[in-house]
């Protein structure tokens, strides 16, 4: 497989993995817990999702032909939660991810070196993808951390459970060596 094709396949799997982590964290919460903010300087999960969705829609709508910071985006408003239900939160989550994943899936390997703009600053498509590969998991990590705090002892681990690393490693090393993306097993485990 050509390097650019394997890059695209790898990042697609990684983004899907983080999408699923966010969803599995939210699935463990009561609807009202999505709106909990511990203080005025903290965003609720609903607000984080509003921001992620706004970013995805702005960055990835017509991303090859228009600046990633759209005139219609109001980033500051993304941090003012106006969602009223879990359904509204999930609609925004899915709308943002659909826009982003559709854009990612439409890419051809030869387009990865194209220059796109975000706030009038040029990036290669690879740089733009990598920028979001840092940004979206950062926020998904916030969602997971917040959800874990809200659930406390009722939390079902989304990674290697505490004090289970030895078992996990023994299982991995009992298998033959193989080349694959780390998300292959993780996506199956989380489903």
- Structural domain containing residue 127: 3-190
Q: H helices of the chain, where? A: 3-27, 45-60, 86-106, 125-151, 165-173, 183-190
Q: How many domains does the chain have?
A: 1
Nearest to 171 by CA among 188, 185, 184: 185
Compute φ and ψ for 118, nearest 5 degrees: -130, 115
User: What CATH number is associated with residue 25?
Assistant: 1.20.120.450
Distance from C-alpha of 18 to C-alpha of 105, rounded to nearest angstrom = 16
Task: Render pLDDT for 63-107 as a digit per residue (tens, 0 to 9).
Answer: 999 999 999 999 999 999 899 999 999 999 999 999 999 999 999
DSSP single-letter state for residue 157: P
Distance from C-alpha of 139 to C-alpha of 92, rounded to nearest angstrom = 15
| pLDDT tens sequence for the chain (191 residues) | 578 889 999 999 999 999 999 999 999 999 999 999 989 899 999 999 999 999 999 999 999 999 999 999 999 999 998 999 999 999 999 999 999 999 999 999 999 999 999 999 999 999 999 999 999 999 999 999 999 999 988 899 888 888 888 887 788 788 888 877 777 777 666 66
């Amino acid at each position: 497989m050509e390097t650019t094709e394997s890059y695209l396949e790898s990042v697609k799997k990684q983004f899907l993995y983080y999408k699923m982590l966010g969803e599995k964290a939210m699935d463990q919460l009561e609807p009202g817990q999505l709106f909990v903010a511990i203080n005025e300087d903290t965003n609720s999960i609903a607000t984080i999702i509003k921001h992620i969705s706004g970013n995805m829609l702005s960055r990835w709508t017509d991303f090859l032909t228009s600046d990633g910071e759209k005139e219609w985006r109001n980033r500051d408003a993304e941090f003012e939660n106006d969602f009223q239900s879990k359904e509204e939160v999930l609609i925004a989550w899915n709308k943002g991810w659909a826009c982003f994943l559709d854009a990612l899936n439409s890419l051809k390997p030869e387009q990865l070196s194209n220059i796109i703009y975000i706030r009038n600053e040029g990036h290669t498509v690879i740089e733009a993808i990598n920028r979001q590969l840092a940004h979206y998991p950062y926020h998904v990590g916030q969602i997971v951390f917040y959800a874990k705090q809200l659930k406390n002892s009722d939390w079902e681990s989304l990674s290697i459970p505490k004090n289970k690393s030895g078992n996990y490693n023994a299982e991995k090393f009992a298998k033959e060596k193989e080349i694959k993306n780390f998300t292959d097993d993780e996506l199956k485990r989380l489903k």
